[in-house]
Structure 1
Amino acid sequence: MSHKLKVGELKEHYLTDEEIWRIFTVVLSSKSAKSSTYKYALIKALIENLYQVNDRFELTYDQLAYSFTKVYWNLIVQHNLIKQNRGKNARVVTIIKEIQSKYQIPAEFSFDKIAAQIQIKMVSEVKSTMKQNVFGALYGDTSEKFYAFDHKHDYFKLNPSVHSFMLNYQRLIVNLTNYHMAKMIEELNEVPSINYLLGKVETIARRSTLRPFEKVLLNHFKNSCFYCGKALSNGKRQTHVDHFIPWSFVQSDHIWNLVLSCSTCNGSKSDKLPKRYFLDSIIDRNNELIDKEEDANVMSFMKNYKDKKIILLYDYSIKNGFDQIWSPS
């Protein structure tokens, strides 16, 4: 009955890759009891926040609940995949549908388009459900070795060995989690095929717009392409926001991994890594952002950023198969 636990301590602090793989295999298999898709959604939330941990490998419940809520909003409301539980509706489904109805939010609205105060209310309610049914359940399935948690203090700490493992094998873990989550959703809902669902599950964490980040970057930096340096305008070189390290690897939107780009560079770069010398440029740019202490928005976006995070992200993306290196022609 680990899902009822209010506190969970780490049983072991050091695990080998082989031990972690063995536990992950159990979590993704039928050996792990799953009455709902909650465990998969928590793994997706962890992946989205891998580069948001502080120096003690801690995350807040709010960070995880935000990502968790976004996953379900986009599945339930945007894609009408209501059944996320065997038997009665999952509590998260009820929360989301009630809030959508109360505030008359259109089904085509992705999570990031919802008003901030409504997002906060929804995340708060979902967080309460996660405390009852999610944190303890996955904790038990991972043999109490992947993370520690404490509901009273909204405290969550990843095992450093697990954090390193997830960085190293991120792409594979993402693909495995997406596949098994899609397979379960297919069993619960009447949908055409698992291939149809995989496309939905793979993109539920993606924002519909990067406009808020674009505004911040335009406010603090000159309107020129990060890669080729040419001025951006409303003409052929219109402004794009590009993920410096591809979204398909990062699986999240952080301003410290976003740059202004012209349409030519954005289209040409696509899902490739920029040449390593651009890494120095984005680190310099990010340090300029950190200096904007008077801008609360920027400070919020840059929380827990360290130069080493984007360097690690670059190196781990290559290890995960993103080895096509690009530079402007």
Structure 2
Amino acid sequence: MNINNLKKEDFWRAIILYGLNQATYKIALGHSLMRFSQQGKTKVTMSELAEDFFEMYLKRVEKEKPQSFNEKRRSVMERIIDLYKLGKINRSTAVEQVEKNAFRNVISSFHTVYNQAVPVQFYQRDKDGLILTDHLFEVFSSQNHSILKEELDARWDLLEAAFEMRRNNSQLVNDIRRMYLVNGYKRTDITKNRPVLNGYQNNVCFYCGEVMNGDDVHVDHVIPRQLIHHDEVWNLVMSHGFCNEQKSDSLPSAIYIEKLIKRNEHFVESNHPIKEKLVAQLGNTPKKRRDYVLKVYNDAKIVLGYTWDGIRGYHPETDPFYRTYVRYLNKVD
């Protein structure tokens, strides 16, 4: 897929699959836009949108699945549904509260991916509600509309699963976190490792395999720092900022851990100057080094409970659309 051939449908998919989600609001709005377009509505009032949101979340919350990343606080929609189910407010009041409080960020940020507005707008905001654009009708009148609906459903399910895993805690999780915290140390400047890392990666992103340019290169902890609390070079790679943001504090799949182990062995076998440091950190044989990295990864899976591809629903290195969108963001043909 050439970046010059990105279709309106592709930008819709980018919003749904790659937009950051601290809660499920963006996916809910996607569902609403899909339904309203299929009903032939060209304008949707905020009260109509609130009614639609209320119906969706009433069904979702009944399944007792969390709707936000914040494990210490329920989302606005969850709190409204709680009040309704407890009989503290009636349906009309609940919908009014949705209209008043639930749309503060999602309406303005829906079209944003990686801090950039996509060039295709699926609605415009006016004082009374949303004006649905021809782009939206074009997307959901296409033969792929059923696939787009499935992606919305799958994305919502995956987000709920990720949020639920984050909230499930145990003594084992606390013990593992405490162990790494005790052995960890304060943040250091990890950007100084770029020359070493790039000597192996040669300006290619560790996660997606696409070329990186100088304006969008990050040094990333493969196993998230929030668990390991250190900046040791064996766990550092270079990536696009977009890929780093997509991964965030989740784990990559085991494929990337194997790739990391192979990278570390390359440094050791080639007598790279950091060889002694890697041997001291990981062990003096390939098996010991591999076992150490896998132990840390398995501890992280217990604590974090999910992997990047499991949350997002795609594999960055082999998904052609993901790689095409990275090229689009980086203006690479």
TM-score of the pair, normalised by structure 1: 0.43
Find the structure with the greater CA-based Rg: 2
TM-score of the pair, normalised by structure 2: 0.43
